[in-house]
Chain A
């Protein structure tokens, strides 16, 4: 149905279209909800919004089936059985909100007085609206232990950190309007999943129709690859090797790279000494470059970039230094296409062809005029996301892919790899929000906006991990940590003298038992808590371990003043409009459901830290006078949202204005979208800071018996195998991996009957994908029931779907299925629970960014009758 403005404005009280935001995934597309006689009968995309542009995926359209699910929680529940476990009935008893809040507040008061770090707060990534209230609450309470459960752990530590360092953004996409050649490494941007998913769907479709060549490097030919020009199957987890081989061909065989870009916008000309560090000016400590005109080494700030040497060897202050680019060129030589074929299985000839196509399509040196502004034009993009970075070597995997962009200057210019909106000059009336990347003393880029305060660069100095249970004090590049739930958490805490232990968990919507790793491992960590509170829509596998379960409101019952802010998260990149939509309640709570954000405010009041929470909201929302929250005055969450909106867009544009209009938008400027030429910052093609960071970390960990493998901390990226690549046990000959099924979001949507029906119709959503020839070789047939087993004897059972569209050594399992709890009966027993196969411990975590290894070597055997 096409909605025109008059339809919206003439709506009556019992037949109304309301402008709001979806929340079936973190893409948070703008929606129109049609309410008739108090019942939402349809949800569509809002064509007025840049976020989705009127499009809505199957998850979004089906959202009202989640909202009206008869299994939704409606009353607070208290367990009566003190014993917790998989086979223990919690003995739920209905209690009043007053009873629930009194008990929770008593625990909060005690813990805050003893040591606030004993409180852990985890939230799902699905509901972006929970981010800011959770962040404010933990800051006000005083605990550093805040995490995003499996959603964050599985896809945050590599993709977002490196996107932040190289593009000042949370994630990257091709500039769909102008890109002519996009190569994806384990990513599905533009194919109904991920950041700005519906907007990118339309943009990607238009780009393909326009003729953009799309190459998808992935073990599985699924959502992105099925629509691509070319699918390049590779061995699981070897993306870095392929990308580095392509870089090698470009630099050392074709000699195609963007010299002016590398000189001006990267640290390629910085001189590196024999110690692998910058050679610095003794007086200013600035990194030195070689000035080709004067024949001297000078601080990078003192030499026009065009005069900076990229090649050669120079003696400076008694040591021999070489430009970082020269070292990169030498380093790449070991990634010959022939050697790389052995690692990746991608034929050497294909590697050379792909590198040549990418390099030539980049049109190095070309410009284009947009809105009267002359801009660099590099219509190629190399994109990576969850697939390629979901490994122990996620830092190098992601960095190697981005080097393809950096070599040809295809970074945040027309047609290139774009960060999601790293520069914003603000609304014309208020100049807010305003943020621009800036340079540190070494000239390297510091992001202007981030999702929290764990900035990707510069990294904090490693220290004894006395603050965070996740040990991010020492592993400072890690955002989300596996050690909140790992097998070896106690051993690690003892090693590092962590002076407290967690006692209370507040969980918002995360199904931790399913989303992190093996359920027994995660359960063991959860059983250590003395008290667990869980805000949920349904009784999940995890909430069964809680002491109190609180019935949450759905997205159709909630308010959020910033459903798509920060813009680096889910506002579409590229030209178009800035767009700040809100979420508003379309229908009231059912039964005794309450909104999460309001409950947190109430808890702060009861536990006596409202002034702290007000201050935390001032900081989190960057509220400006006169809209800052005062003292310990009690504000509702609606009032805080109102303050947020007025503070950013003026006195006249409060929550009521936004409820009527749904959003505010204004045009993007070319110099905001293609900001790189206008901002004097450089990015590191040579990660000089990694080596000293590794040494600092090792100085802390190694006296305590935790060895830091130094090859993870080298300044230039390498391919490093995962534990699965080292497994040569007989019979264990498949690399099992899971992938995001675009029909589903995490484990949450499995309960939605429409999406369940779609998943049952899909040949792969609930099955195990195996290459047809590989199956035949083992005598396994399509539809056969099989065991998938790891060396550690973790195993899952499922039905095979054989296909030519998967690498012969790959075993693909969709999404996060395999529910076993009774609280989500539609989801129960459907699909395969891949995470059951995952170890959660130090041995399977990156020693750089704590990324959990998400691939595992497995044996596949037929289930015998009776098993």
Chain B
């Protein structure tokens, strides 16, 4: 069972995040894949509370998938971010909308290079409950 979600406070938001120079998703000293894709991530709405950077810069291997990009973000921004976005690993909630260069991303297992040049990723949570 998950713990109660508490959003980052204003203080937490002002803390600097990991620097853009880090190779995300790799351990120091490992056989890191040389990153050759720079991706700017724009977080909107409630997700914008997790960073003061807009855009947030990710360095990922050319073969990376959107799911790996989300994992990297979750690793960087913490469990609360992951709780809002992911209902299980590699599966976002239906109300989490991800756009790569303006195109809606539906399959997180697809590599960037297969769908788009993807220099910009926009992510927003769109909530809606309706009746009538």
Residue of A at shortest CB range from B83?
A463
Partner of A157, one of B49, B102, B122, B131: B131
* Closest-CB distance, A107 to chain B (whole angstroms): 16
Contact A615 B42 (CB under 8 A): yes
Partner of A699, one of B1, B83, B87: B1
What mask results when residues 1 to 31 of chain B are scored 1 for a CB within 8 Å of chain A, else 0?
A: 1111111001000000000000000000000
Contact A460 B94 (CB under 8 A): yes
Q: How far is the CA of A244 from the CA of B7 in the complex (A)?
A: 47
Contact B130 A148 (CB under 8 A): yes
Contact B7 A451 (CB under 8 A): no
Contacts of A618 in B (CB 8 A): 99, 102, 122
Given contacts A116-B46, A618-B122, A619-B99, contact A152 B127 (CB under 8 A): no
Check if B108 is an interface residue, CB within 8 A of chain A.
no
The stretch of A131-139, A214-222, A229-237 that contacts the partner chain? A131-139
Check if A670 is an interface residue, CB within 8 A of chain B.
no
Q: How far is the CA of A619 from the CA of B122 in the complex (A)?
A: 9
Partner of A479, one of B5, B84, B131: B131
Contact A452 B128 (CB under 8 A): yes
Check if B125 is an interface residue, CB within 8 A of chain A.
yes
Check if B95 is an interface residue, CB within 8 A of chain A.
yes
* Closest-CB distance, A113 to chain B (whole angstroms): 6
Contacts of B128 in A (CB 8 A): 135, 138, 146, 451-454
Q: Within A128-185, which residues are at the interface with B (CB < 8 Å)?
A: 131, 135-136, 138-144, 146-148, 151-157, 160
Residue of B at shortest CB range from A611?
B44
Contact A140 B10 (CB under 8 A): no
Check if A461 is an interface residue, CB within 8 A of chain B.
yes
Residue of A at shortest CB range from B49?
A142
What mask results when residues 34 to 73 of chain B are scored 1 for a CB within 8 Å of chain A, else 0?
A: 0000000010111111000010000000000000000000
* Closest-CB distance, A789 to chain B (whole angstroms): 29
* Closest-CB distance, B52 to chain A (whole angstroms): 13
Partner of A148, one of B3, B88, B129: B129
Contact B131 A452 (CB under 8 A): no
Q: How far is the CA of A143 from the CA of B84 in the complex (A)?
A: 12
Contact B131 A138 (CB under 8 A): no
Check if A330 is an interface residue, CB within 8 A of chain B.
no
Q: How far is the CA of A623 from the CA of B130 in the complex (A)?
A: 22
Contact A155 B132 (CB under 8 A): yes
Q: How far is the CA of A463 from the CA of B42 in the complex (A)?
A: 26
Check if A622 is an interface residue, CB within 8 A of chain B.
yes
Check if B124 is an interface residue, CB within 8 A of chain A.
yes
Given contacts A139-B45, A453-B95, A615-B124, contact A464 B1 (CB under 8 A): yes
* Closest-CB distance, B34 to chain A (whole angstroms): 30
Q: How far is the CA of A140 from the CA of B125 in the complex (A)?
A: 8
Q: How far is the CA of A620 from the CA of B125 in the complex (A)?
A: 10
Partner of A624, one of B2, B84, B102: B102
Given contacts A142-B46, A499-B6, contact A153 B126 (CB under 8 A): no
* Closest-CB distance, B85 to chain A (whole angstroms): 12
Check if A616 is an interface residue, CB within 8 A of chain B.
yes
Contact B5 A467 (CB under 8 A): yes
Contacts of A616 in B (CB 8 A): 44-45, 124, 126
Contacts of A468 in B (CB 8 A): 127
Q: How far is the CA of A114 from the CA of B47 in the complex (A)?
A: 14
Q: How far is the CA of A497 from the CA of B2 in the complex (A)?
A: 12
Contact A628 B102 (CB under 8 A): yes
* Closest-CB distance, B12 to chain A (whole angstroms): 12
Partner of B87, one of A460, A481, A622: A460
Contact A140 B44 (CB under 8 A): yes
* Closest-CB distance, A470 to chain B (whole angstroms): 8
* Closest-CB distance, A560 to chain B (whole angstroms): 16
Contacts of A861 in B (CB 8 A): none
Q: How far is the CA of A451 from the CA of B130 in the complex (A)?
A: 7
* Closest-CB distance, A430 to chain B (whole angstroms): 15
Check if A625 is an interface residue, CB within 8 A of chain B.
yes
Contact A619 B97 (CB under 8 A): yes
Given contacts A115-B7, A466-B4, A700-B1, contact A152 B46 (CB under 8 A): no
* Closest-CB distance, A642 to chain B (whole angstroms): 17
Contact B127 A146 (CB under 8 A): yes
* Closest-CB distance, B116 to chain A (whole angstroms): 11
Contacts of A499 in B (CB 8 A): 4-6
* Closest-CB distance, A110 to chain B (whole angstroms): 11
Contact B87 A148 (CB under 8 A): no
Check if B104 is an interface residue, CB within 8 A of chain A.
yes
Contact B45 A146 (CB under 8 A): no
Contacts of B102 in A (CB 8 A): 618, 623-625, 628
Contacts of B49 in A (CB 8 A): 116, 142
Q: How far is the CA of A118 from the CA of B125 in the complex (A)?
A: 16
Check if A737 is an interface residue, CB within 8 A of chain B.
no
Contact B4 A138 (CB under 8 A): no
Given contacts A139-B125, A499-B4, contact A154 B131 (CB under 8 A): yes
Partner of B127, one of A113, A131, A138, A155: A138
7 closest residue pairs by CB, A with B: A156-B131, A452-B128, A152-B131, A142-B46, A125-B132, A453-B95, A466-B5
Q: List 17 A-B contacts (CB under 8 A).
A: A116-B46, A136-B126, A140-B45, A153-B131, A452-B95, A452-B129, A453-B127, A455-B94, A460-B93, A464-B2, A467-B84, A479-B129, A498-B4, A615-B42, A618-B102, A619-B124, A619-B126
A147-B129, A460-B87, A497-B4 given; 18 more Cβ-contact pairs under 8 Å: A26-B132, A136-B126, A148-B130, A156-B130, A160-B131, A452-B95, A453-B93, A463-B1, A466-B4, A467-B5, A479-B129, A480-B129, A611-B54, A612-B48, A615-B122, A615-B124, A616-B44, A623-B102
Chain B residues engaging chain A, CB cutoff 8 angstroms: 1-7, 10, 42, 44-49, 54, 83-84, 87-88, 93-95, 97, 99, 101-102, 104, 122, 124-132
Chain A residues engaging chain B, CB cutoff 8 angstroms: 26, 113-117, 125, 131, 135-136, 138-144, 146-148, 151-157, 160, 451-455, 460-461, 463-464, 466-468, 470, 472, 478-481, 497-499, 611-612, 615-616, 618-620, 622-625, 628, 699-700
